[in-house]
C-alpha cells in the first residue's frame, strides 16, 4: 500500500427533511385540525482522529463524502428521523485545510479520539401543525428542509514523532534508524533510498520515543529540487532533530550548511528547533581526521558533533542519552501502527 500524506476531498452535510401537511380525521372527533410534523435534521460531517492509520491512501479512491438527509415529517405530529452523522476517520496528525489560495488551516487533529464537526446538517422544515393559530385554524403552509453545507477541503498528514532525522541523501539516516529501532528501512549505496517518511520506536533506559526518518534534502529542496521539502512537515511536531552528516563525505561543513539553509527556507520553526549533530560513518576515518572535521564544523558555527557509526553501532548511546534530555518523563505522542511500504506518492468548526 502506498504512503499518501495529502488528499483533496469533497464533503457535504445532509439537507433537512421537509415538513408535512396533514389533518386529523378521526371518528368521534368533531374538530380535526392540522397535525403535520416537522422534518428531521440532516446529518453532520464529522472528522475523527483514530489510532491505527498512518496514511491518507483511502482518500485517493473515495473523494466524495455526503451525509444522509433528514426524513420528511408525517401526520399525527410525527417528526421525521434525523440523518445519521457521517464520521470520516483520519490518522492522528491530520490537518483539514480550506481549498483557497492560502490553504488556511481549519482544524488540526493531534489526539486519538479527537472529533470535530466540520459541517452542520440542515434543519428540518416546519409542518403545518406549527402554523396553526387562532386566526389560521387550517393552515396548509409547510416548510421544505434547509439545505446542508458543502465544500472542498484538503487533508494533510503530519506524522507525530518525538525525534526527526534530517540530512543530505546517503548520510546514513536509514542505517541509523534501523540500528535503534525495528523500522527495517531500505538501505542502499545511492542517494534517495528513502522515498517516504519512516517511523520507528526506540526503547532506551526504560523510556520509549518515536523517531521519524524523512527523505534526504539537497540544495534547492525548498524550490523543489530532488524530492523537495514536502516531507519536512512530518518533523514539524518533533521535539528535537538529529542532523546526520557524512563524516566521510567530500565536504561535511558544506553538507551541514546546506541542510541548515533548507530548514530555514522551509520555516515553520524548524531552524530554531533543538538539534543534535552526529558525524556518521566515523568508522571510516581515523582519530586525526575526525578531530579535523569536528574542528571545521565548530569553526563554521555548528554545535559539538557526536561521532557515530550506524553500521557498527558505535556512538549510539551518547546520542540517545542526549535525546532523553529533550523529552518529558512520558511521551505524549501516540505511535501509529507500522508504516506501509512502497514509495511516498503525494497526492467555522466546533469540537464535539
* 142 and 194 assigned to the same domain: no
**10 in a known ligand binding site:** no
Q: How many structural domains does the chain have?
A: 2
**Residue 333: inside a domain, yes or no?**
no
**Residue 48: inside a domain, yes or no?**
yes
* 173 and 281 assigned to the same domain: yes
**194 in a known ligand binding site:** yes
157 conformational bin, left if phi > 0, alpha if psi -120 to 50, beta if neither: beta
**299 in a known ligand binding site:** no
* 42 and 152 assigned to the same domain: yes
What is the greatest pairwise CA distance in the chain?
109
* 280 and 309 assigned to the same domain: yes
Residue pair 121/16 in contact by the 8 Å Cβ criterion? yes
- How far apart CA 12 and CA 145 sit, in angstroms, is 15
Residue pair 187/207 in contact by the 8 Å Cβ criterion? no
* 113 and 185 assigned to the same domain: no
**167 in a known ligand binding site:** yes
**298 in a known ligand binding site:** no
**Residue 346: inside a domain, yes or no?**
no
**172 in a known ligand binding site:** yes
Identify the CATH number of the domain in which residue 68 sits. Answer: 2.70.210.12
* 90 and 150 assigned to the same domain: yes
The last residue of a domain, from among 157, 190, 220: 157
**128 in a known ligand binding site:** no
* 226 and 134 assigned to the same domain: no
* 104 and 189 assigned to the same domain: no
- How far apart CA 186 and CA 155 sit, in angstroms, is 27
**222 in a known ligand binding site:** no
How many residues would you count in the chain? 352
**58 in a known ligand binding site:** no
Specify which residues 208 forms β-bridges with.
Answer: 203
**214 in a known ligand binding site:** yes
**Residue 329: inside a domain, yes or no?**
no
Identify the CATH number of the domain in which residue 178 sits. Answer: 3.40.50.300
**310 in a known ligand binding site:** yes
pLDDT 10s digit of each residue in the chain, 352 long?
467 889 999 999 999 999 999 998 888 777 788 999 999 999 999 999 998 888 899 998 999 999 999 999 999 999 999 999 999 999 999 999 999 888 899 999 999 999 999 999 999 999 999 999 989 989 999 999 999 999 999 999 988 889 999 988 888 888 888 888 877 666 655 555 566 778 888 999 888 898 988 887 877 766 666 566 778 888 888 999 999 999 888 899 999 999 999 888 888 888 888 999 999 988 888 889 999 999 999 999 998 999 998 888 889 999 999 999 998 875 444 444 444 444 444 334 444 5
* 233 and 129 assigned to the same domain: no
* 167 and 153 assigned to the same domain: no
**272 in a known ligand binding site:** no
**55 in a known ligand binding site:** no
Q: What is the span of the domain harbouring residue 81? A: 1-157
* 198 and 220 assigned to the same domain: yes
**Residue 112: inside a domain, yes or no?**
yes
| Closest alpha carbon to 245 in 217, 212, 270, 222 | 217
* 72 and 29 assigned to the same domain: yes
**171 in a known ligand binding site:** yes
**Residue 342: inside a domain, yes or no?**
no
The last residue of a domain, from among 157, 181, 209: 157
| Closest alpha carbon to 45 in 72, 95, 6, 83 | 83
**29 in a known ligand binding site:** no
Amino acid at each position: 500500500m502506498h504512503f499518501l500524506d495529502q488528499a483533496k476531498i469533497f464533503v457535504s452535510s445532509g439537507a433537512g427533511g421537509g415538513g408535512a401537511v396533514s389533518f386529523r380525521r378521526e371518528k368521534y372527533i368533531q374538530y380535526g385540525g392540522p397535525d403535520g410534523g416537522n422534518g428531521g435534521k440532516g446529518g453532520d460531517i464529522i472528522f475523527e482522529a483514530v489510532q491505527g492509520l498512518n496514511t491518507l491512501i483511502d482518500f485517493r479512491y473515495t473523494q466524495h463524502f455526503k451525509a444522509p438527509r433528514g426524513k420528511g415529517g408525517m401526520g399525527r405530529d410525527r417528526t421525521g428521523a434525523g440523518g445519521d452523522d457521517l464520521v470520516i476517520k483520519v490518522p492522528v496528525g491530520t490537518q483539514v485545510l480550506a481549498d483557497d489560495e492560502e490553504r488556511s488551516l481549519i482544524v488540526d487533529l493531534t489526539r486519538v479520539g479527537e472529533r470535530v464537526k466540520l459541517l452542520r446538517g440542515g434543519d428540518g422544515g416546519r409542518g403545518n401543525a406549527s402554523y396553526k393559530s387562532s386566526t389560521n385554524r387550517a393552515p396548509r403552509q409547510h416548510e421544505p428542509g434547509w439545505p446542508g453545507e458543502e465544500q472542498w477541503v484538503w487533508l494533510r498528514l503530519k506524522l507525530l514523532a518525538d525525534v526527526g532525522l534530517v540530512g543530505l541523501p546517503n548520510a546514513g539516516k536509514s542505517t541509523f534508524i534501523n540500528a535503534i529501532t525495528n523500522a527495517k528501512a531500505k538501505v542502499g549505496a545511492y542517494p534517495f533510498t528513502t522515498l517516504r517518511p519512516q517511523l520507528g520506536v526506540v526503547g532506551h533506559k526504560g523510556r520509549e520515543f518515536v523517531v521519524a526518518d524523512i527523505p534526504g534534502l539537497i540544495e534547492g529542496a525548498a524550490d523543489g529540487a530532488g524530492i523537495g521539502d514536502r516531507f519536512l512537515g512530518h518533523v514539524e511536531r518533533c521535539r528535537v532533530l538529529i542532523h546526520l552528516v557524512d563524516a566521510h563525505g567530500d565536504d561535511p561543513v558544506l553538507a551541514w550548511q546546506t541542510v541548515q539553509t533548507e530548514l530555514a527556507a522551509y520555516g515553520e520553526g524548524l531552524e530554531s528547533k533543538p538539534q543534535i549533530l552526529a558525524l556518521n560513518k566515523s568508522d571510516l576515518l581515523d582519530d586525526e581526521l575526525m578531530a579535523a572535521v569536528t574542528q571545521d564544523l565548530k569553526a563554521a558555527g555548528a554545535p559539538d558533533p557526536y561521532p557515530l557509526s550506524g553500521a557498527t553501532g558505535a556512538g549510539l548511546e551518547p546520542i540517545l542519552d542526549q535525546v532523553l534530555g529533550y523529552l518529558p518523563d512520558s511521551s505524549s505522542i501516540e505511535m501509529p501502527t507500522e508504516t506501509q511500504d512502497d514509495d511516498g506518492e503525494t497526492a467555522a468548526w466546533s469540537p464535539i
